[in-house]
C-alpha cells in the first residue's frame, strides 16, 4: 500500500510518501510560505537530487496540488499518477479525550477535530485545511487522522487532573492531555525491538528533546504520565517555551508588564525557555558553543534544562516503581552527547550510567555503561513512519 503522510502547519506543509510493503520512504517534501510572497516547494525523492519549485502557493489546496505534481513528475516523481496513493495519514495535534487511537476521517471525526479548535487554536485549524485540501484533490482515498494526544489517553485520572474545581473541569474539559505521543510511542516500540523484550515487560522513560520537549513514562507499553499538559506549554523548559512556572508569576508578569492574555500567551510560548534565559538563542548548538566560550547565561540555560529533565526522570521512576530503560530522541536528544551526559550524571542511585565513549555517537544505539542497571539508548524518532503505520492499519481495517 502506498501511503501519503501530511503534516500541515499554518504556512507550511510537510509530506512523505511510503511504500508500506517494505516500509520504505519514497520521497519527502516541504512547502513553505503558503499564502505569502516567496513560497516554494522542496521535493526530495529518495536517493535522487532534490527538486525546488518556486511559485505562488496561495493556500493549502494549491500546496497539496503541487506536492502531488512533484510526486508524479516525470523526472523527480516516484509514482506514475496520483491514483497510486491508497491512503493518506494526517498529523493532528489535539484529539481531546475522544481519540485513544488514530481514526478514519468521516463527518463526525472532522466535527470532533473542529470542536477542539478552542484548545488547539494554533495546530488543529491548519490540520483541517490539509485534510480538506486532500479530500478535494483525492476524494476516493481514505484519510486517517493520527493524534499527538492519543497515546496519552491511558494516563490515569490522578495524573491528568489539575487541582481545579470539578465544575470547571467538566465545563471546559480542562485537564492534562500531553503531546508528542506519536514520537514517544515510536521510540518506545523501537526500544523494545532493540532490547528484544516485549514492550509489556518494560518500564521506560522516553525523552523527546527538540524545539519542543517532553518526557513520557511508558509503563509496560502504556503512557502513564507525560510532562506536557493542557497545552504544550507545561513541563520541561524548552527552546522558547517557559515550561513549569508558578501561575502567580504569570499573573505578576501580566500586571506589571501590562500584557493582555493574548500577549502573555505569545510571551510564554515564544520568548521564554532557553532563549529567554540565555538572551541569545533557542538553538542548543549556539548555547553549547557560547557556554564553552564562557557565556554564563548560556551555561545556566543548559544547566536548568538538564536539571529539569533529571528531576522528571526521578519523578517518573517513582511513578512506575522502577526503570528498565531511558531513551533519548529528537534534535537535542539524538545529537547532543553533552546534554545526554549532563542529564545522566549522578543518576547511579537510579541505576543509570552512561558510557562516555559510546555516548559520542551518531544514530541509534545503546550508550549505557556495562554496569548500568538501566539501559540508556539513543533512538532517532520517526513520527512520519509511525503515522504511515497507523494509517496503513486503520485503512486496512476499514477496507
Ligand atoms: P522540532 O522538530 O521540535 O522543531 P527538533 O527535534 O528538530 O525540533 O530539534 C531542534 C533542536 O535540536 C534545536 O534546538 C537544535 O539546536 C537541536 N540540535 C540539533 N542538532 C544538535 C546538535 N548537534 N547539538 C545540540 N543540539 C542540536
**What pLDDT score was predicted for residue 122?**
85
- Say if residues 353 and 371 touch (Cβ distance below 8 Å): yes
Catalytic residue among 97, 101, 106, 148: 148
By most ligand atoms within 8 Å of CB, the mutation choice from 93, 284, 301, 340 for ligand 1 is 284
Q: Which residues of 348-365 are buried (b: 16+ CB within 10 A; e: fewer)?
A: eebbbbbbeebbeeeeee
Q: Is any atom of ligand 1 closer than 6 Å to the C-beta of 332?
A: yes
Cα of 289 from ligand 1 centre, angstroms? 14
Residue 390 assigned to a binding site:
no
Cβ–ligand 1 contact at 281 (below 6 Å): no
List per-residue pLDDT tens for the chain, 399 residues long: 999 999 999 999 999 999 999 999 999 999 999 999 999 999 999 999 999 999 999 999 999 999 999 999 998 999 999 999 999 999 999 999 999 999 999 999 999 999 999 988 888 999 999 999 999 999 999 999 999 999 999 999 999 999 999 999 999 999 999 999 999 999 999 999 999 999 999 999 999 999 999 999 999 999 999 999 999 999 999 999 999 999 999 999 999 999 999 999 999 999 999 999 999 999 999 999 999 999 999 999 999 999 999 999 999 999 999 999 999 999 999 999 999 999 999 999 999 999 999 999 889 999 999 999 999 999 999 999 999 999 999 999 998
Q: Is 314 annotated as a binding residue?
A: no
The response to whether residue 366 sits with its C-beta less than 6 Å from ligand 1 reads no
Residue 180: left (phi > 0), alpha (psi -120 to 50), or beta? left
DSSP type of residue 352: B
Whether 9 is in the pocket of ligand 1, judged by its Cβ within 6 Å, is: no
In whole angstroms, give the CA distance from residue 349 to residue 346.
8
Closest CA to 87 of 27, 25, 6: 6
pLDDT at residue number 249: 98
Instruction: Name the region of 226 (left: φ>0; alpha: ψ -120 to 50; beta: rest).
Output: beta
Q: How far does residue 213's CA lie from ligand 1's centre (Å)?
A: 10
Number of Cβ within a 10 Å radius of residue 37: 6
All 3 cell numbers of residue 37?
A: 510572497
DSSP 164: S
pLDDT at 119: 87
The Å distance, Cα 237 to ligand 1 centre, comes to 14
CATH code for residues 198-378? 3.30.420.40
* Gap from CA of 377 to ligand 1 centroid (Å): 17
* Per-residue pLDDT at 362: 87
Is 148 known to be catalytic? Answer: yes
Q: Is 283 annotated as a binding residue?
A: yes
Residues contacting 111, CB < 8 A, separation 6+: none
| Shortest-distance atom of ligand 1 to CA 208 | 6
Domain with CATH 3.30.420.40 in the chain: 2-147, 198-378
What is the side-by-side order of every strand in the sheet holding 143-147?
Answer: 51-54, 40-45, 24-32, 13-19, 2-8, 87-92, 143-147, 103-104
Ligand 1 pocket, residue 204 CB under 6 Å: no
Considering the domain delimited by 2-147, tell me its CATH architecture. 2-Layer Sandwich (3.30)
The per-residue DSSP string of 22-86 comes to TTEEEEEEEEESTTSTT-EEEEEETTS--EEEE----SHHHHHHHHHHHHH-TTT-SSSSGGG--
Question: What one-character DSSP code corresponds to residue 368?
Answer: B
Residue 377: strand, helix, or coil: strand
User: Which residues have CB under 8 Å from 105's CB, separation 6+?
Assistant: 90, 131, 142, 143, 144, 145
Q: Decide whether any atom of ligand 1 lies within 6 Å of the 317 Cβ.
A: no
Amino acid at each position: 500500500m502506498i501511503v501519503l503522510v501530511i503534516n500541515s502547519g499554518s504556512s507550511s506543509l510537510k509530506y512523505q510518501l511510503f511504500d508500506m510493503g517494505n516500509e520504505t520512504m519514497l520521497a519527502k517534501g516541504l512547502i513553505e510560505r503558503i499564502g505569502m510572497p516567496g513560497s516554494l516547494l522542496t521535493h526530495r525523492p529518495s536517493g535522487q537530487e532534490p527538486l525546488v519549485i518556486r511559485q505562488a502557493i496561495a493556500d493549502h489546496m494549491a500546496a497539496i496540488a503541487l506536492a502531488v505534481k512533484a510526486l508524479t513528475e516525470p523526472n523527480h516523481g516516484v509514482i506514475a499518477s496520483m491514483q497510486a496513493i491508497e491512503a493518506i495519514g494526517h498529523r493532528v495535534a489535539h484529539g481531546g479525550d475522544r481519540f485513544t487511537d488514530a481514526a478514519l476521517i468521516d463527518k463526525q471525526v472532522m466535527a470532533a477535530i473542529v470542536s477542539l479548535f478552542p484548545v488547539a487554536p494554533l495546530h488543529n485549524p491548519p490540520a483541517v485545511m490539509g485534510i480538506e485540501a486532500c479530500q478535494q484533490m483525492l476524494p476516493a482515498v481514505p484519510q486517517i487522522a493520527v493524534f499527538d494526544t492519543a497515546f496519552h489517553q491511558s494516563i490515569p485520572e490522578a495524573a491528568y487532573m489539575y487541582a481545579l474545581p470539578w465544575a470547571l473541569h467538566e465545563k471546559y474539559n480542562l485537564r492534562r492531555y500531553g503531546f508528542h505521543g506519536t514520537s514517544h510511542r515510536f521510540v518506545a516500540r523501537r526500544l523494545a525491538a532493540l532490547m528484544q523484550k516485549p514492550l509489556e515487560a518494560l518500564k521506560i522513560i522516553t525523552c523527546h528533546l527538540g524545539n519542543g520537549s517532553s518526557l513520557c513514562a511508558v509503563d509496560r507499553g502504556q503512557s502513564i504520565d507525560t510532562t506536557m499538559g493542557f497545552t504544550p506549554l507545561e513541563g520541561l523548559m524548552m527552546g522558547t517555551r517557559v515550561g513549569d512556572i508558578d501561575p502567580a508569576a504569570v499573573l505578576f508578569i501580566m500586571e506589571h508588564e501590562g500584557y493582555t492574555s493574548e500577549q502573555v500567551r505569545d510571551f510564554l510560548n515564544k520568548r521564554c525557555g532557553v532563549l529567554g534565559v540565555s538572551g541569545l538563542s533557542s538553538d542548543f548548538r549556539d548555547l553549547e558553543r557560547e557556554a564553552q566560550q564562557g557565556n554564563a547565561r548560556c551555561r545556566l540555560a543548559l544547566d536548568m534544562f538538564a536539571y529539569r529533565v533529571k528531576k522528571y526522570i526521578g519523578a517518573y521512576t517513582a511513578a512506575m516503581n522502577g526503570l528498565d530503560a531511558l531513551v533519548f530522541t529528537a534534535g537535542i536528544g539524538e545529537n547532543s552527547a553533552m546534554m545526554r551526559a549532563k542529564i545522566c550524571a549522578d543518576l547511579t542511585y537510579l541505576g543509570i550510567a552512561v558510557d562516555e565513549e559510546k555516548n559520542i555517537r551518531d544514530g541509534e544505539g545503546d550508550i549505557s555503561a556495562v554496569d548500568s542497571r538501566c539501559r540508556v539508548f539513543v533512538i532517532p524518532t520517526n513520527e512520519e513512519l509511525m503515522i504511515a503505520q497507523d494509517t496503513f492499519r486503520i485503512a486496512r481495517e476499514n477496507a
